[in-house]
């Protein structure tokens, strides 16, 4: 595989790298008080949330479409409508993901590129003011 064709999925280390990022993201959300606001929106058991984010990110990052194979079109914004997401929730989600990327040793340039893409999606998920 040449540098030019490597997807973010490849650069993160494929499925095991993406899984490890998702696990770190939810471990931080579960443990760190600054993410308590978005933690409270999630079910008590984060197992299903971990699997869904992992399946989704594999495809979103250019790898296999596990999420679409299971659930069809992600309709991500519609699926987030039951949860009140404003600027605070968006920023908590982003801070948690940036922390997970850093903890997993993702190189700065890749982490910055991914951060921009995550921000676009997280901002699009806002469904209430404030
Ligand atoms: C903006 C802040 C966000 C908040 C507060 C938030 C919160 C949530 C919550 C509470 C759930 C339900 C979890 C469950 O059913 O177990 C969920 C599901 C999900 N979220 Fe987010 N989320 C945010 C942003 C994002 C972003 C940026 C992505 C992708 C890059 C994403 C991807 C997903 C996926 C794939 C699911 C599973 C959807 C399903 O099949 O039901 N979320 N999110």
- H-assigned helices in 14-107: 14-31, 36-39, 47-60, 66-71, 76-80, 87-103
Q: What is the pTM of this model?
A: 0.96
Give me the sign of the Cα torsion angle 66, 78, 11, 3.
positive
Give the tokens for residue 114: 């991914």
- Looking at the chain, the whole-number percentage of residues with pLDDT higher than 90 is 95
* Ligand 1 near 80 CB (within 6 A): yes
Q: How far is the CA of 12 from the centre of ligand 1 (A)?
A: 20
Contact 38, 61 (CB under 8 A): no
Residue 1 — very low, low, confident or very high, per pLDDT cuts 50/70/90? low
Mean pLDDT value of segment 102-127: 98
Residue with more model confidence, 4 or 86 = 86
- Looking at the chain, the whole-number percentage of residues with pLDDT higher than 70 is 97
**CA 95, CA 4: separation in Å to the nearest integer?**
29
Query: Closest Cα to atom 25, ligand 1: which residue?
Result: 122
Categorise residue 77: left if φ over 0, alpha if ψ from -120 to 50, beta otherwise. Answer: alpha
Q: How far is the CA of 2 from the centre of ligand 1 (A)?
A: 33
């Amino acid at each position: 595989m040449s540098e030019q064709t490597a997807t973010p999925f490849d650069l993160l280390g494929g499925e095991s790298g993406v899984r490890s990022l998702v696990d770190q993201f939810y471990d931080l959300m579960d443990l760190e008080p600054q993410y308590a606001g978005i933690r409270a929106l999630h079910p008590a058991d984060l197992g299903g949330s971990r699997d869904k984010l992992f399946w989704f990110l594999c495809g979103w990052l250019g790898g296999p479409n596990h999420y679409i194979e299971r659930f069809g079109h992600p309709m991500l914004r519609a699926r987030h409508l039951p949860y009140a997401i404003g600027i605070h929730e968006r920023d908590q989600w982003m801070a948690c993901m940036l922390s997970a990327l850093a903890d997993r040793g993702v190189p700065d340039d890749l982490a910055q590129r991914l951060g921009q893409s995550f921000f676009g999606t997280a901002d699009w998920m806002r469904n209430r003011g404030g």
